[in-house]
Amino acid sequence: MKRNHFLVLVGLALCALFGYWLGHATRPENFQLQGKLTFDPTQVPSADYDTGDYIVRWRTENGGQLTVEAKDRPGIVLWQTIPGEAFVMAAQANETVTENRGMFQFQDRWQVVCSDQTVDSFQQSEYGLIQIKGLLDCSDNSTFTYDVYFGKAPSSNAGITVDINNKSNRVFLTYASSPNEHFFGFGEQFTYFDMKGKKVPIWVSEQGVGRGEQPLTFFADLTNGGAGGSAFTSYAPMPFYLTNKMRGISRLSCDSNHACYSVFDLRKPDRVQIEVWSSELQMNIMNGSSPQEIIHQNLFAPVYGTTLPVLPEWVFSKAIVGMQGGTDKVHKTYAKLKERNTPITAFWLQDWVGQRVTSFGKQLWWNWEVDYDRYPGWEQLVSELNKDGVNVMVYISPYLADIGNLKPNVRRNLFQEAKEKGYLVKNSVGEPYLVQNTDFYFGMVNLFDSNARHWYKNVIEEQVIGVGAKGWMADFGEGLPFDTAVGFYTGAEFHNDYPLFWAMLNREIVYETDKDIVFFNRAASTISPHYAPLFWEGDQLVDWSAEDGIKSAVTG
């Protein structure tokens, strides 16, 4: 009898688990949004609109369809909607976002869905801008008004802006693809090269440990709250792609030109659906006859300038040796390398600030100053290496840990300085937002505050360049909390922009001090390559796995 009771309880538990899984799996948020397109052909008849370099064609046949073509490539479709189907949709939604050590988990719940679209009018301004106005019918019997604008973008490509004029916080843009169209790009992606058939989120985060390689990912998730990652977790995802049809989009952004959370859904063979967590969507339609031409247009938009950062010659000349261990170990290692006539251009000494022991292992003191206990005679070490033409590189980040009385030889507590000056990113009640990393907490310098930026630039110039470093890894940048307060905005709007501002700050230091300095980032946003000359690709596993090993590094 007891055995029967036990089996009944197990059966009920399994049914409950299955019911929970089924309820989650069948939520509408897990599927592409679709709706019908309606219009009055007497009010919006078929027409062609000239925007200068582009032609926007509206055809009422087959339920209505928009097409964008470039004048210099007649007959080549750059962008096109699906006949008879809504191309603009919206929703009101509530999200739940959890974060642990730079990894983010997203759950979305659509409250009101507006999927049926009417097209009411086309208007063209004297400057060539085309405006489409209409309504979206919603699941609660309300209607949202919307505007779609087509025109020439600052990058000399065609620009599209979608603006939902009500209380929506999700915008969807759907357009046509084909089964044999293959999608490449989306920034630094480690698992897949062709994203056709995938759903690709754009949110800067930690890369993850394992990223699908089992059982490592399972145990990383179990013990570190989702730290295993997935096929799409990346330090440097970007809302840019090109296809084998020589089509592409770039500069996807939300209201106020922020790079908010977005998703590219390429799972259906005949369409692309972009979702942004905002009430406005902006993007450019790329035009080019080759991958090189499209990439060049993406990199060298006039609004961002026509030059990329140049590396100093010493970076290319010989080996850069990364090592840790202190002054004596550097001397011994260098002596052995000289015995073998090894050409060395620099030592990268990541532990220059000293090490602390945590539950994760050995980590750095996140307080950016020389630790003279670990590196006694630092200045002499730098001078001796420099005499042989060998530079010294170090490691920094925009994260500051409150070391308090934990570190015996501290001279300057940067966390405390930043806190007193109000230069740390704040939470919703105006206090410094403290983020946990293993056994300690840290604050993030508010890189969007000009005063904080100026202060931190001086810190780096004094504490890093001032002690002889000719370069550094400018690490992190992916951890700005979703719910932080950044001036009038939130981490939801500015998260993906934080690594860009970090790269910009480091580039400004190089321009203002010494053009012979080099730095490299790990996290990146869309236009980070305009400021960072090098990127660290992450911390792959030392195996051959495609998920997180050397194969993933090649793909990335």
Q: Are 249 and 257 in contact (CB under 8 A)?
A: no
Tokens for 83, please give them.
Answer: 């006949």
Tokens for 248, please give them.
Answer: 């592409």
Q: Are 287 and 70 in contact (CB under 8 A)?
A: yes
Tokens for 439, please give them.
Answer: 């056994």
CA dihedral 102, 227, 202, 105 (to 10 degrees): -90
Determine the 3-state secondary structure of 396 from DSSP: strand
Q: Are 53 and 78 in contact (CB under 8 A)?
A: no
Angle, helix 414-421 to helix 450-463, in steps of 10 degrees: 160
Peptide bond into 215 cis (omega under 30): yes
Instruction: Tell me the CA distances in angstroms from 308 to 235, 257, 397, 469, 532, one per residue in order.
Output: 21, 22, 22, 23, 8
- Angle at 545 (CA atoms; ends 540, 550), nearest 5 degrees: 45
Peptide bond into 239 cis (omega under 30): no
Structure-token match 């002690």, residue found: 467
Determine the 3-state secondary structure of 94 from DSSP: strand
Whole-number Å distance between alpha carbons of 144 and 116 = 10
Give the residue among 84, 55, 30, 61 at the shortest CA–CA distance from 267: 30
Tokens for 512, please give them.
Answer: 């203002």
Q: Which residues are catalytic?
A: 475, 478, 539
Q: Which residues neighbour 271 within 8 Å (Cβ) at sequence distance 6 or greater?
A: 32, 82, 174, 175, 176, 177
Whole-number Å distance between alpha carbons of 70 and 336 = 61
Structure-token match 């679709």, residue found: 34
